[in-house]
Structure 1
Amino acid sequence: MAAQEMTQVLNEWFRQNARDLPWRDPSTSAWGILVSEFMSQQTQVERVIPHWEEWMSRWPKPSDLAADAPGEAVRAWKRLGYPRRALWLHKAATQIATEHNDVVPHDVDVLLSLTGIGPYTARAVAAFAFGAPEPVVDTNTRRVIARAVHGIAAAGMPAARDLEDMSALLPSDHREAAVFNAAAMELGAIVCTARKPACSACPIAELCEWRGSGFPDNAPVKRPKQAKFEGSDRQVRGLIMAAMRAAAGPLTREAAIVAGVESGAGRGGVGSGGVDSGARSDQAQRAYDSLIADGLIVEYDGKVRLP
């Protein structure tokens, strides 16, 4: 498959069919793109949009967020999930405001020095905010490359080869490289999906090695299934955090823990599946302790509040 032909076709398709996401607006700041990347980790884009819009309206610059307490970031995160991301984003905003004159860095190595920013996010910000010719690879991109380039039904575990594969496909023109990074992600998100790929709508179907091989069932060994959310410690953590966000002021330690116990009584498999109140209390205590350890809630004078 000719890489140049694939990138050209896919970029043309993206320009005509890309979803209208607010952070793709040319006027979006590098800070806005950074916020979108934090919020989109392991979260559906449709859920992110209203939160991103509220966030950017309230905190249009890193210094705006840094001026508020970390707890305000956690509160504004609402039910996006993985609320530690809110704390990390607040810390990154503080670093940008104090160490980088309120300007998001463009260099990948400098971006990596910010709290909560790993290799993927650093390259994504460099590429999408500044047009740097960095290979940006997420789950969707890996799936597209596995099928179109290698003829494999699904990508295996992440590996260094992923970046090499993407680098080999990137156009030499920096602007086109940034478009291709986004285009490959978009194709994997809405066409070349994991379970039901819409091959008839794929712009590179004629170039796809997997399709050309007859769609072989040659995927690598699947990862172990993720534990169910329903009835999990993670769900109880979310219930306690919801009570903390909704409270007009600090709660007692006991009230915070009870929020996890009482809310758990109606959860499938927790209150009705033979799990007694003592087990639910132990689970709520465990969830509470983990929130303290993560810095998402803070104890003082027998009470608990957001940081």
Structure 2
Amino acid sequence: MTGPAARAARPTTAATARDPHADLRDAVGRWFGDTARDLPWRAPDRTPWGVLVSEVMLQQTPVVRVEPAWRAWMERWPEPADLAAASTADVLRAWGRLGYPRRALRLQECARTIVARHDGVVPLGEEALRALPGVGEYTAAAVTAFAHAQRAVVVDTNVRRVLARAVGGVALPAPSYTAAERATAAAVAPTDDAGAVLWAAASMELGALVCTARSPRCGACPVRDACAWRRAGRPGDEHAARRRTQAWAGTDRQVRGRVMAALREAPGPVAGDTVRAVWHDAAQLDRCVASLVEDGLVEQVGGRYRLPD
């Protein structure tokens, strides 16, 4: 047996016997080795740039929407230098409906910085990665682990939920990442590179597919018998089940999305009357257009609007 499953199935030693989290990691690692999704940014031929692009795209966007966009993006701009040289309008059109188009601008700015400061190569190390535009603590850790195969404590929303339940015994983590959570995540993560990378990928997958926020599939969980939350009777389960996602209809996000869609679909500048027709509330529309201009996503030329060059 080779690969992640083999690493997860390593025999118990005196050291791991003293580690209270060894069984948790091993069970999740074996499960991941058997069930991991076949995603292109996990392929053996993945590149650090491809991993970085995937992590930016996956922020608050489901895999099913990201995968085709990522494939098209990487075919068009396979290296940072390719994206750095692209027009902003082309970048925003390619981003399409992935949401939060400011991420596309930051990704292009990141590519330009990689070209200018790192000879077009995604840098090694979390400190160097965090110095890139738009790269925060999570993204730097994820690229370090998944692109460079080095130890990092990778904690996203899914990992926070897995640790809250399996280790902390509560239904959901706190609204914001706490110092206590950070300490727990660091304690659970293996100290070796291979083990830490496996744990990062496996715990994220478990939270995404099994230990979900509203409908956890405890019967399919590889650590169901050891989970502190399940052993306690799943306290707070009713609260987690009622948890709602943020409303979309009628929000500024929806209005901004409609304006961006109108501009992406147009071959050139769009008349103000056409933009005003996308939404019924003139005051809300004006506010949203102004915010798009301020964010650098839209340019106003006289009475017309366009994507930036």
- Same fold by TM-score greater than 0.5: yes
How far apart, in 1, do the equivalents of 2:98 and 2:196 lie?
30
Note the C-alpha offset of 1:220.
Answer: 9.0
The offset of 1:2, in angstroms, is 2.2
In the alignment, what sits opposite 2:56?
38
Q: Does 1:166 align with 2:167?
A: no
Secondary structure of the structure 1 residue equivalent to 2:135: coil
Instruction: Give 1:125's aligned residue.
Output: 143
The residue type paired with residue 16 of structure 1 is: D
Gaps of 5+ in 2: 1-18
Structure 2 counterparts to residues 72-151 of structure 1, below 5 A: 72-151=90-169
Give the CA deviation at 1:167. 1.3
In the alignment, is the contact (CA less than 8 A) between 2:214 and 2:242 conserved in 1? no
Residue 254 of structure 1: how far off its partner (Å) = 3.6
Tell me the distance in 2 between the aligned counterparts of 1:257 and 1:73: 24
> In the superposition, relative to structure 1, how do residues 293 and 226 fare at CA in structure 2: closer, same or farther (>3 Å)?
farther
Q: CA deviation at 1:219?
A: 9.0
Distance change >3 Å, CA 296–CA 140, structure 1 → 2: same
8 Å CA contact retained: 1:30, 1:130: yes
Query: Is contact 1:143-1:154 (8 Å) kept?
Result: yes
Alignment CA distance shift 1:213-1:235 (3 Å): same
Give the equivalent residue in structure 1 for 2:41. Answer: 23
Measure how far apart 1:281 and its partner are.
1.5
Letter in 2 for 1:41: Q
Q: Does 1:71 align with 2:72?
A: no
- Give the 3-state SS of the residue equivalent to 2:147 in structure 1: helix
Structure 1, 181-190 or 162-171: larger mean CA deviation: 162-171
Structure 1 position 165, deviation (Å): 1.1
Task: Indicate yes or no: 2:252 matched with 1:233.
Answer: yes
- Which secondary structure does the structure 2 equivalent of 1:103 belong to? coil
Q: Over the residues paired in the alignment, what is the CA RMSD in angstroms?
A: 2.0
Range moving further from structure 2, 294-303 or 138-147: 294-303
Kept after mapping to 2: 8 A contact 1:155/1:220: no
In the alignment, what sits opposite 1:282?
283
Partner of 1:306: 307
SS of the residue corresponding to residue 131 of structure 1 reads coil
| Identity among equivalent pairs (%) | 46
> Helix, strand or coil: the match of 2:225?
helix
Aligned to 2:170: 152
Q: 158-167 or 137-146: which moved more?
A: 158-167
1:209 aligns with 228
* 1:282, distance to aligned residue in structure 2 (A): 1.5
Q: Distance in 1 between matches of 2:296 and 2:192?
A: 44
User: Which amino acid in 1 is paired with 2:301?
Assistant: Y
**CA distance 1:127–1:306, shift in 2 (3 Å):** same
Q: d(CA) in 1 for partners of 2:237 and 2:221?
A: 20
Deviates more, 1:34-43 or 1:68-77: 68-77
Residue 156 (structure 1) shift: 1.3
TM superposition shift of 1:137: 0.6
For residues 248 and 218 of structure 1, the distance between their equivalents in structure 2, rounded to whole angstroms, comes to 50
Note if 1:188 corresponds to 2:207: yes
Q: In the aligned structure 2, how far is the partner of 1:242 from the partner of 1:226?
A: 23
- Alignment coverage as a number of residue pairs: 289
Q: Give the Cα separation in 1 of the matches to 2:156 and 2:170.
A: 17
In structure 2, the residue corresponding to 1:9 is in which secondary structure?
A: helix
The runs of 5 or more residues in structure 1 that have no matched partner are: 262-276
Q: 2 CA distance for matches of 1:152 and 1:306?
A: 46
The 10-residue stretch of structure 1 (245-254 or 288-297) with the greater mean CA deviation from structure 2 = 245-254
Match of 2:265 among 246, 254, 258: 246
**Compared with structure 1, are the counterparts of its residues 211 and 226 closer, same or farther at alpha carbon in structure 2 (3 Å cutoff)?**
closer
Instruction: Provide the secondary structure at the position in 1 that maps to 2:305.
Output: strand
Instruction: Give me the TM-score of the superposition, normalised by structure 1.
Output: 0.89
Q: Given the two structures, how large is their TM-score scaled by the length of structure 2?
A: 0.88
Aligned partner (choices 42, 46, 69) of residue 51 of structure 1: 69
Distance 1:109 1:220 in 2: 38
Query: Per-residue CA shift, 1:94-139, capped at 9, x if unaligned?
Result: 1111211110012111111111111111111111111221111111
Q: For residues 250 and 160 of structure 1, what CA distance do their matches in structure 2 show?
A: 49
After TM superposition, give the deviation of residue 84 of structure 1 in Å. Answer: 0.5
